Amino acid sequence: MSSDAPPGVRFHHGSVVVPAGAVHTTPLGYDRGSVPLSAPLPLTASAELVHRLSGCGEVVVAFEGKLGDTLLALTGVRAVLDWLRLRSVRTSVRAVGPYAGLIARTGLITQPPVTTPHGRRAVIGDRAGIEAFDSEAVVSLVLDPAAPPCWSSDGRAHPDLPARHYLALERRLGIRLPGTAPFAPTLATGPNNLVEELRSVGWLGGLTIAAITATSWPERKDYTAQRYIALAEQIAEAQQAQARLLLIGGAPEGGFRVSAEAPRRHVQVLHLDGVPAEQLADLFPHCNLIVGNDTGLTHLAAMTRSPERPVIGLYARHSHSKWRTGLPHHHAIATDLSDRMHQGDLCPVRDAIPPDIDVHMDAFPPAELAQVCLELLNGVRP
């Protein structure tokens, strides 16, 4: 489960199954493995929710909040749609809001049915999205990341948010749904102008590393360009290769901006600031390695990658297991504090837990982080 790392820092492989007894969990109430698909659960369903969803002709997916929260909550949408299909309830599905294009890449959005919807509508999303969508919905489902607990069933814990959301809806809807771990959807990708331009000038050839500096909480979560450059230099020197480092930053004044630094001995550095998430979804599959903080773009990278290309999240304060996609190539390097948040299913913000010391991203020295990256790039499980 862990590898050699600096004191107080551990590596967690994305494919590790967490035993139910190792962390604080809430029993699911049934052994999923022994319940046949579409069979009733040994729990009472939410009769009102079932009644209202059964009468819907349209499902609207509406998210307006953080990108990461949205991506990790899409399994809640999938759970409802899986239930509607099992119940043979015919609906149209559409997405609204700033993430509609990304949501469409999951395959959740369907064309309208042959018959015209009869007007009863369900809205699924975050609170801001549901409030922003002016609708007389017969039912609204708020997918709040703070709501679903870490479930356990069949001797294993399900700590990642995609699993939490999916299983929470399965319990409420009352039948065994088809989803299995990992629950997170993947996003379809393809060519775009940014990818073609970068390829044409050689930025996507050879060893390409993407590093995410964009974050809504830079004083806590920004690993900094300087540390990422040092990391890339360590990797390139060990690989005896010239690395191309793409530094993915937030939106600057004036919007989208691309700038290259003077070439270094082992690394060429390109700053990509303010690139829309949909364009990054097409760019990430062309990178050999992606490293980022626990932010939405790191989750997006994991959901657009092939399993053999690793994504590593850096977790200084929050639970490394909850704030991951649960996909086997989405790994974590975490501090002791993050491990304790994982074990107790706690949140330092929600539960007002101050750290023993002020933990920042400097807990992850580039040289030691490079060793983990090299092992993953070489196909060795750290």
| Dihedral over alpha carbons 108, 312, 182, 322 (to 10 degrees) | -90
226 and 343 co-located in one domain: yes
* Of the residues 145, 173, 201, the one at which a domain ends: 173
pLDDT at 217: 67
The encoded tokens of residue 165 equal 């959301």
Q: What is the DSSP string of 257-293?
A: EEEEPPP-SSEEEEEEES--HHHHHHHGGG-SEEEEE
**Residues 306, 286: Cα–Cα separation, whole Å:** 10
204 and 231 co-located in one domain: yes
Residue 111 has pLDDT above 90, yes or no: no
- Please report which confidence band the pLDDT of residue 5 belongs to, taking 50, 70 and 90 as the band edges: very low
Q: Which of 5-9, 295-299, 358-362 has the lowest mean pLDDT?
A: 5-9
CA angle, residues 167, 173, 174, in degrees to nearest 5: 90
What average pLDDT does range 326-351 have in this prediction? Answer: 94
- Please report which confidence band the pLDDT of residue 382 belongs to, taking 50, 70 and 90 as the band edges: confident
Q: Which of 23-27, 290-294, 355-359 has the lowest mean pLDDT?
A: 355-359
- Please report which confidence band the pLDDT of residue 320 belongs to, taking 50, 70 and 90 as the band edges: very high
Any domain includes 352? yes
367 and 222 co-located in one domain: yes
Any domain includes 349? yes
109 and 199 co-located in one domain: no
Non-local CB neighbours of 44 within 8 Å, separated by 6+ positions: 174
Query: In sequence order, which ranges of 145-253 are alpha helices (DSSP H)?
Result: 161-173, 193-200, 218-221, 225-239
213 and 352 co-located in one domain: yes
Question: Which residue has better confidence, 346 or 117?
Answer: 346
Non-local CB neighbours of 242 within 8 Å, separated by 6+ positions: 206, 207, 236, 266, 267, 268
Count of structural domains within the chain: 2
> First-to-last CA distance in the chain?
9
**CB burial of residue 87 (10 Å; 0-12, 13-18, 19+):** middle
pLDDT at 165: 98
Q: What angle in degrees, to the nearest 10, is found between the helix axes of 67-86 and 296-303?
A: 50
Any domain includes 23? no
Residue 254 has pLDDT above 90, yes or no: no
- Quick: pLDDT tens for 278-316: 999 999 999 999 999 999 999 999 999 888 899 999 999
**Residues 189, 173: Cα–Cα separation, whole Å:** 32
202 and 267 co-located in one domain: yes
Any domain includes 113? yes
pLDDT at 112: 58
Question: Which residue has better confidence, 81 or 354?
Answer: 81
Q: Structural domain of residue 233, as residue ranges?
A: 9-15+190-377
CA distances from 313 to 14, 212, 245 (A): 10, 10, 17
What average pLDDT does range 257-285 have in this prediction? Answer: 94
pLDDT at 221: 75
**Residues 211, 369: Cα–Cα separation, whole Å:** 13
Any domain includes 181? no
| Dihedral over alpha carbons 331, 337, 341, 343 (to 10 degrees) | 80
What average pLDDT does range 105-115 have in this prediction? Answer: 73
Torsion sign, CA atoms 252, 256, 262, 264: positive
80 and 142 co-located in one domain: yes
**Residues 120, 91: Cα–Cα separation, whole Å:** 10
Residue 7 has pLDDT above 60, yes or no: no
120 and 215 co-located in one domain: no
Non-local CB neighbours of 129 within 8 Å, separated by 6+ positions: 62, 63, 64, 65, 96, 97
* Of the residues 125, 143, 173, the one at which a domain ends: 173
Contact of 75 with 183, CB cutoff 8 Å: yes
What average pLDDT does range 233-262 have in this prediction? Answer: 91
220 and 306 co-located in one domain: yes
What average pLDDT does range 142-163 have in this prediction? Answer: 97
Non-local CB neighbours of 149 within 8 Å, separated by 6+ positions: 25, 26, 164, 345
pLDDT at 45: 97
* Beta strands at 58-62 and 92-96: parallel, antiparallel or unpaired: parallel
Non-local CB neighbours of 364 within 8 Å, separated by 6+ positions: 6, 9, 223, 227, 314, 316, 333
Any domain includes 226? yes
Residue 375 φ then ψ, to 5°: -65, -40
pLDDT at 1: 37
CA 162 to chain centre: 8
What average pLDDT does range 315-337 have in this prediction? Answer: 96
- Quick: pLDDT tens for 186-201: 999 999 999 999 999 9
Average pLDDT taken over every residue of the chain: 92
**Residues 260, 263: Cα–Cα separation, whole Å:** 8
**Residues 306, 213: Cα–Cα separation, whole Å:** 22
pLDDT at 210: 98
At 336, which CATH number? 3.40.50.2000
39 and 133 co-located in one domain: yes
Any domain includes 278? yes
Any domain includes 21? no
**CB burial of residue 66 (10 Å; 0-12, 13-18, 19+):** middle
266 and 199 co-located in one domain: yes
256 and 306 co-located in one domain: yes
- Quick: pLDDT tens for 69-92: 999 999 999 999 999 999 999 999
pLDDT at 358: 66
- Please report which confidence band the pLDDT of residue 8 belongs to, taking 50, 70 and 90 as the band edges: confident
Contact of 194 with 276, CB cutoff 8 Å: no
| Amino acid at site 240 | Q
What average pLDDT does range 197-222 have in this prediction? Answer: 86
